[in-house]
C-alpha cells in the first residue's frame, strides 16, 4: 500500500485527514525533509537533526511518532540495513515505481537503490510466492531482498 505522487502543496493533507490524523507543523517538516533531503535513507536521528534546523522546537520523540504513522499509512518505508538503527524512505511513487531493492556496502554503509533486473526478479518472486503459499499455507504480503558487499570506493581502498 504505497503512496501516490507527492506533487502540489498539501498533497499529503488529504491522506492525513482521511486517516484521522491532524495536520501539524512537525509532520509537515518531517515530510519535507524526506522529500527534499539529498540522503534518501535517513535514520530517525538524521531526520531529527534536519528538521531541527528550521523547527528547533520539534523533538526526537515526535520524529519517531511521525515516522511510525507515516509507515502505517504506507507513505514511508522502514528498513534495517544492519547498522543498528532503522532507516526511512519516502514512498514517492506508485506501487510499481516504488519497487526497488538495495545494495548495502558493509564497509561504509552506503546504500544504492536499484531497479534493474526487477522484472526478472518479480517473475521469480511471483513463482516462489505461489509455491511457498501452497506448500506451507503461508500468505505472503511482502518480501525483502538485499545484497551486501563492497562499493567501488571501499573495494579499492583495501
Partner DNA sequence: CTCCTTAATGAAAATCATTTTCAATAATAA
Partner DNA sequence: TTATTATTGAAAATGATTTTCATTAAGGAG
Nearest Cα to 149, choosing from 82, 84, 86?
A: 82
The CB density around residue 62, as the number of other CB atoms within 10 Å, is: 18
154 assigned binding-site residue: yes
Q: Kind of pairing, strands 111-114 and 101-105?
A: antiparallel
50 scored as a contact of DNA (CB under 7 A)? no
117's contact among a copy of itself, DNA, none, with CB below 5 to 8 A by partner kind, is a copy of itself
DSSP assignment, residue 117?
T
143 scored as a contact of a copy of itself (CB under 8 A)? yes
147's contact among a copy of itself, DNA, none, with CB below 5 to 8 A by partner kind, is a copy of itself
Q: In angstroms, what is the minimal distance from the CB of 75 to DNA?
A: 14
x/- letters, 78..117, toward DNA (CB under 7 A): ------xxx-------------------------------
- Judge whether 104 and 151 are in contact, CB under 8 Å: no
- Judge whether 79 and 89 are in contact, CB under 8 Å: yes
Q: Which three cell numbers stand for residue 31?
A: 515530510
What phi and psi, each to the nearest 5 degrees, are found at residue 127?
-65, -50
Q: Which three cell numbers stand for residue 91?
A: 514512498
Q: In angstroms, what is the minimal distance from the CB of 9 to a copy of itself?
A: 35
Task: State how far the Cα of 6 lies from the Cα of 75, in Å rounded to an integer.
Answer: 10
Q: Which of 2, 32, 37, 60: binder of DNA (CB under 7 A)? A: 60
Interacting residues toward a copy of itself by CB under 8 A: 80, 82, 103, 105-106, 112, 114, 116-117, 120-121, 124, 127-129, 131-132, 135-152, 155
Binding residues for Fe cation: 99, 143
Q: Which residues bind DNA (CB under 7 A)?
A: 16-17, 20-27, 43-45, 57-62, 64-66, 68, 84-86
Amino acid at each position: 500500500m504505497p503512496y501516490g505522487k507527492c506533487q502540489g502543496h498539501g498533497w499529503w493533507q488529504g491522506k492525513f485527514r482521511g486517516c484521522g490524523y491532524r495536520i501539524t507543523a512537525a509532520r509537515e517538516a518531517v515530510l519535507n525533509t524526506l522529500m527534499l533531503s539529498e540522503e534518501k535513507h535517513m535514520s530517525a536521528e538524521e531526520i531529527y537533526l534536519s528538521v531541527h534546523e528550521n523547527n528547533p522546537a520539534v523533538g526526537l520523540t515526535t520524529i519517531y511518532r511521525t515516522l511510525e504513522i507515516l509507515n502505517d499509512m504506507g507513505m514511508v518505508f522502514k528498513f534495517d540495513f544492519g547498522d543498528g538503527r532503522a532507516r526511512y524512505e519516502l514512498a514517492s511513487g506508485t506501487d510499481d515505481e516504488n519497487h526497488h531493492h538495495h545494495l548495502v556496502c558493509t564497509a561504509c554503509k552506503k546504500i544504492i537503490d536499484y531497479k534493474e533486473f526487477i522484472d526478472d526478479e518479480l517473475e521469480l518472486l511471483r513463482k516462489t510466492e505461489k509455491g511457498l503459499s501452497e506448500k506451507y499455507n503461508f500468505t505472503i504480503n511482502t518480501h525483502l531482498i538485499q545484497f551486501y558487499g563492497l562499493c567501488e570506493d571501499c573495494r579499492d581502498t583495501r
